[in-house]
Amino acid sequence: MRGVLKAWLLRRLDALLTEEQRRLPPEELSRLRVVVGAAALNFLMAFSNMVGPEAPTHGTLFRAAGVLFSACYLGALVLVRRGAPVRRPALLVCVTLTLGLIFSTHLIGTAAAAASAASMLIPALVVYLLGTRLGLLFTGVMVLNVLVLHPLVRTGGALFFDNDHDRMLSLFAVISLLGGWVLSWLYSTARLEAHAALRESEGKLISLIENTDDLVCSLDAQGRILTANQAVRRLFREPPGPEPVRGEALFRLLLPESSDVGRQKLAQALGGQRVGFEVSVAAEGRRQIWDISLNPVLGAGARPVGVTLFGRDITERKEAELRLGEMHRSLMDASRQAGKAEVATGILHNVGNTLNSVNVSVDLVAERVRNLRLAGLARASAMLRENASHLATFLTTDPRGQHFPAYLRALNEQLFQDQAALMVETEALRERVDHIRAVVNMQQQHARSAQMLEQVPVPQLIDDALRLHGVSFERLGIQVRTEYAVVPTVLVDRHKLLQILLNLLSNARYALVESGREPKQLTLRVELTPEQRLRIAVADNGVGIPAEHLPHLFTQGFTTRKGGHGFGLHMSALTAQDLNGSLSCTSAGRNQGATFTIEFPLVAPRARA
């Protein structure tokens, strides 16, 4: 009930103010409402006394005073309506009220009238509207009226009343007037000090808000601007446009092409949610991206009555993220090319060494063919053609013919030996060609889409990876040991797992060569963990890894090897994560070797899905 009455009274008082005056700060608006209320109330009282039934009994002077006082109160209302500073109508109301009370005490003529409680209103009203000094002045006038003027008029020249009752009433009125001024002064002083501290804090807050580059403004329940800092005003001035003013719809200015989005976000904030979103605006000759957050402002009963808006320019961050994304894609391409080069290098090693053996076999076959005794066979055939008419005589009496059967037996044995040697070299040549074809076919088998999932026997895949490095391992004297537990096939991306294995084997080769230790040992283990995950371990006794390098081992760009690119292990770790697995490393320190461990589930995540 009290809230309804207060709202009704404030609406009536605000009806006498202009629209601009209703938007004044709360303190000035309250003082203006008091001036308007006091002027309107006293105007009604003066006008009613002037035209009321008791007016004729007081004579013409009373009616003239009523007209004058009514005109003064009405003039105060006119000054307020015309937008005059609040001090001018307040001074007119206080002077008129003081003179009206003094006039009334003299008109009534009793000591009780001079000590009327209505006079207590003067100190409180004047101190509130005009300050303590003018309040003391008006209080002094009222004290002078009670102690001097009223007794002087009523007693015909005496300074004090001639009876104790009237003197006591006058003394009581003086004490009440002075006490009212003192209490009003104390309250006004405390209020001014509190307001000064509040203004100081407010000034610091405004300075902080104004000097930030972030957008800060407050909106009412309809999304209209209540306050806005310099960054908001600067944003709307670029490109040149109207500066936002109080009462304008912010999202209509900020998002002209999608104001519905702004209204939707505002509705969510007024529903009690903290809303965040990004907007793109044209400012300073370029597109800017702002991160906007809306926070509800709670009023009575924890009910949202408005929102505060904070915005931060994230254009540079977005551009940096874009550049980082491009760099990441470039590194992915570089890593993919490096992986391809790694595989191609292994193939070329195997094919190149096999081709050396092929060349040796071809040379041997060519030499055997050149050394075949075909010339002796041709001479023997010519000799038979020459003696064809007397072949029996030639074979029995001619010394050459007598040796002819033995020569044919020797020639036959030699040709059979040459044929056997050529068959051996031809078989070796075929095996080497088959090996080259197997290496190429194996690479074609692994060069599949990165999204292909298939059932992979992991030990066989490791053997394929070892075969690609086999020639270099043999040439460098690296002893390879495999420890394969009985494990089921796994549904996984063959290409990605092979890339990890090839990179780990290549790193192990460099570590073993750099250490110079003999023997160079490389161990590969395959086993199942208690959690039914597949574990592949690649262990070497090479240079090892210092403890301070282990936390950075899989960081992009980190490498301790001369000529290393620093993203092989990083990309391998990312690839292991893509397989819903992990890649880790343990090492006891320098020259203590290292063990890299891959773990992943038996079924890939996409396959389970």
Which candidate, 96, 64, 62, places its Cα nearest to that of 77?
96
Neighbours of 22 (CB within 10 A): 11
Is the model's pLDDT at 96 over the cut of 80?
yes
Q: Give the chain's mean pLDDT.
A: 76
Which candidate, 262, 242, 243, places its Cα nearest to that of 252?
262
- CA–CA dist 172, 61 (Å, integer): 29
Q: 397 and 443 in contact (C-beta within 8 Å)?
A: no
Evaluate whether 212-313 and 454-608 have a shared fold: no
**The overall pTM is greater than 0.75:** no
265, two tokens = 């976000």
- CA–CA dist 223, 308 (Å, integer): 10
* Spatial CB neighbours of 290, under 8 Å, sequence gap ≥ 6: 215, 278, 279, 280, 281, 311, 312, 313, 314
User: What DSSP string describes 136-197?
Assistant: HHHHHHHHHIIIIIHHHHHTTS-SS-SSHHHHHHHHHHHHHHHHHHHHHHHHHHHHHHHHHH
Residue 570's pLDDT is what?
A: 81
- CA–CA dist 487, 601 (Å, integer): 12
Q: 485 and 526 in contact (C-beta within 8 Å)?
A: yes
Is the model's pLDDT at 406 over the cut of 60?
yes
Cross-strand bridge partners of residue 522: 480, 540
Q: 87 and 31 in contact (C-beta within 8 Å)?
A: no
What digits encode the pLDDT tens for the residues 546-573?
Answer: 888 888 888 877 777 766 666 678 878 8
User: For 242, which DSSP code?
Assistant: P
What digits encode the pLDDT tens for the residues 35-54?
Answer: 888 788 778 777 766 655 55
Which candidate, 140, 150, 86, places its Cα nearest to that of 114?
150
- CA–CA dist 452, 579 (Å, integer): 12
- CA–CA dist 44, 39 (Å, integer): 9
> Does 118 or 147 have the greater pLDDT score?
147
- CA–CA dist 290, 292 (Å, integer): 6
- CA–CA dist 463, 526 (Å, integer): 12
The total number of residues shown for the chain amounts to 609
What confidence tier does 107 reach under pLDDT thresholds 50, 70, 90?
low
Which CATH number is correct for 454-608, 1.10.10.10, 3.30.540.10, 3.10.20.520, 3.30.565.10? 3.30.565.10
What's the mean pLDDT in 239-243? Answer: 58
Neighbours of 358 (CB within 10 A): 19
Residue 402's pLDDT is what?
A: 73
Q: 125 and 38 in contact (C-beta within 8 Å)?
A: yes
369, two tokens = 């063919």
What's the mean pLDDT in 209-227? Answer: 82
Is the model's pLDDT at 319 over the cut of 80?
yes
Q: 132 and 108 in contact (C-beta within 8 Å)?
A: no
| In the chain, where the domains are located | 2-207, 212-313, 334-446, 454-608
User: For 553, which DSSP code?
Assistant: T
Sheet holding 275-283, edge to edge: 225-228, 215-220, 304-313, 286-298, 275-283
What digits encode the pLDDT tens for the residues 430-449?
Answer: 766 766 676 666 666 555 54
Q: 229 and 325 in contact (C-beta within 8 Å)?
A: no
Residue 365's pLDDT is what?
A: 75
Cross-strand bridge partners of residue 424: none
What digits encode the pLDDT tens for the residues 269-298?
Answer: 888 888 888 877 766 667 778 888 888 888
User: For 224, which DSSP code?
Assistant: B
Phi/psi of residue 525, nearest 5 degrees: -120, 145
Which candidate, 133, 136, 128, 137, places its Cα nearest to that of 192?
128
Fold of 212-313: Beta-Lactamase (3.30.450)
What digits encode the pLDDT tens for the residues 465-506?
Answer: 887 676 678 878 889 999 999 889 888 888 788 878 888 888
